[in-house]
Amino acid sequence: MANVYKNAFYAPTGTSAETVYTCPTEARAIFQTIQITNTSGSKVVQAYIYDHSSSTQFLIAYADITGPTICNLLKGSVVLEESDELRIATSVTSGISGTTALLEVSRVYITDSGVSPGPGGGG
């Protein structure tokens, strides 16, 4: 199993929910933050999780923010399972962007390659 820290960035192209991150089929993802930056004006931001196993989209965060400001939409960690998606929607596409911080945990077991450790490598 491998743990990888990642970012997923958000720059809206429309006002409907857009997929920011899709969890790989052999992994789980733990989101620490969904940070939105609004450079000016008032905007509504909504974050959703699309649950692949039930084909259902759930609203997990809502914010009405006035810029310039930075807003973290999460109040705690959120876990995505295999093929689940994080989606974000905004009321206006200009002057807003975002980033997420997540830990992706692979559920694939990597077998021992049979390589012996070098001198002093222990084992």
Domains and CATH numbers, the chain: 3-106 (2.60.120.40)
User: Do 33 and 65 touch, CB atoms closer than 8 A?
Assistant: no
How many percent of the chain have pLDDT more than 90?
Answer: 84
- Mean pLDDT on 9-36: 96
pLDDT tens digits for range 42-93: 999 999 999 999 999 999 999 999 989 999 999 999 999 999 999 999 999 9
Spatial neighbors of 116 by CB under 8 A, at least 6 apart, are 123
Please determine, for residue 114, whether its predicted confidence score (pLDDT) is greater than 60: no
2 — pLDDT class (breaks 50, 70, 90): confident
- Mean pLDDT on 14-38: 96
61 forms beta bridges with 47
pTM: 0.85
* Amino acid code (one letter) for 95: G
